[in-house]
Amino acid sequence: MNLVDFSEMIVKRLVQEPDLVKVQEFDNEEDTTIEILVSEADMGRVIGKKGKIATSIKTLIQAKAYNDGNKKVKVNIDSF
Protein backbone atom coordinates (compact mmCIF):
# COMPACT_ATOMS: atom_id res chain seq x y z
CA MET A 1 0.00 0.00 0.00
CA ASN A 2 1.46 3.37 -1.00
CA LEU A 3 1.30 6.58 1.04
CA VAL A 4 -1.67 8.01 -0.86
CA ASP A 5 -3.81 4.91 -0.31
CA PHE A 6 -2.73 4.69 3.33
CA SER A 7 -3.58 8.36 3.94
CA GLU A 8 -6.95 8.01 2.22
CA MET A 9 -7.81 4.95 4.30
CA ILE A 10 -7.10 6.76 7.56
CA VAL A 11 -8.93 9.98 6.74
CA LYS A 12 -11.98 8.36 5.12
CA ARG A 13 -12.69 6.48 8.34
CA LEU A 14 -12.82 9.74 10.30
CA VAL A 15 -15.08 11.90 8.13
CA GLN A 16 -18.81 11.89 7.46
CA GLU A 17 -18.37 12.44 3.71
CA PRO A 18 -15.64 9.98 2.66
CA ASP A 19 -16.42 10.40 -1.06
CA LEU A 20 -15.18 14.01 -0.88
CA VAL A 21 -11.72 13.13 0.50
CA LYS A 22 -8.92 13.77 -1.98
CA VAL A 23 -5.28 12.85 -1.37
CA GLN A 24 -2.44 13.85 -3.68
CA GLU A 25 1.29 13.22 -3.58
CA PHE A 26 3.88 15.73 -4.78
CA ASP A 27 7.53 14.68 -5.09
CA ASN A 28 10.56 16.93 -5.31
CA GLU A 29 14.27 16.39 -4.74
CA GLU A 30 14.25 16.97 -0.99
CA ASP A 31 10.96 15.54 0.23
CA THR A 32 7.49 14.25 -0.56
CA THR A 33 4.37 16.24 0.24
CA ILE A 34 1.04 14.53 0.92
CA GLU A 35 -1.90 16.91 0.50
CA ILE A 36 -5.18 15.86 2.11
CA LEU A 37 -8.33 17.73 1.12
CA VAL A 38 -11.60 17.26 3.01
CA SER A 39 -14.91 19.12 2.98
CA GLU A 40 -15.26 22.18 5.19
CA ALA A 41 -17.84 20.35 7.33
CA ASP A 42 -15.34 17.56 8.12
CA MET A 43 -12.38 19.77 9.03
CA GLY A 44 -13.23 19.65 12.73
CA ARG A 45 -13.22 15.87 12.71
CA VAL A 46 -9.84 15.72 10.98
CA ILE A 47 -8.19 18.43 13.10
CA GLY A 48 -9.59 17.36 16.48
CA LYS A 49 -9.28 19.20 19.77
CA LYS A 50 -6.05 21.18 19.89
CA GLY A 51 -4.95 19.46 16.66
CA LYS A 52 -4.41 16.07 18.27
CA ILE A 53 -6.06 14.03 15.51
CA ALA A 54 -4.20 15.93 12.77
CA THR A 55 -0.92 15.36 14.59
CA SER A 56 -1.71 11.65 14.90
CA ILE A 57 -2.53 11.40 11.20
CA LYS A 58 0.75 13.07 10.30
CA THR A 59 2.68 10.79 12.65
CA LEU A 60 1.13 7.64 11.15
CA ILE A 61 1.88 8.76 7.59
CA GLN A 62 5.47 9.65 8.48
CA ALA A 63 5.95 6.30 10.25
CA LYS A 64 4.63 4.45 7.18
CA ALA A 65 7.01 6.41 4.96
CA TYR A 66 9.93 5.60 7.25
CA ASN A 67 9.08 1.88 7.24
CA ASP A 68 8.87 1.96 3.45
CA GLY A 69 12.31 3.57 3.25
CA ASN A 70 11.03 6.83 1.77
CA LYS A 71 12.59 10.22 2.17
CA LYS A 72 11.20 12.99 4.35
CA VAL A 73 7.40 13.42 4.16
CA LYS A 74 5.37 16.55 4.81
CA VAL A 75 1.61 16.36 5.31
CA ASN A 76 -0.78 19.22 4.55
CA ILE A 77 -4.43 19.03 5.58
CA ASP A 78 -6.84 21.54 4.07
CA SER A 79 -10.50 21.99 3.14
CA PHE A 80 -12.21 22.96 -0.08
Q: Show the domains of the chain with their CATH numbers.
A: 3-79 (3.30.300.20)
Q: What is the pTM of this model?
A: 0.93
Using the predicted structure, report yes or no on whether residue 17 has a pLDDT greater than 90. Answer: yes
Using the predicted structure, report yes or no on whether residue 78 has a pLDDT greater than 90. Answer: yes
All residues at 6 or more sequence positions from 20 whose CB lies less than 8 Å from its CB, including other chains: 38, 39, 42
Helical segments of the chain, H only: 3-12, 43-47, 52-67
* Residue 47 CA, distance from chain mean position: 11
Distance CA 60, CA 46 (A): 14
Average pLDDT over residues 36-57: 97
CB 65 within 8 A of CB 3: yes
Question: Nearest Cα to 40, choosing from 20, 69, 63, 12?
Answer: 20
Average pLDDT over residues 25-46: 95
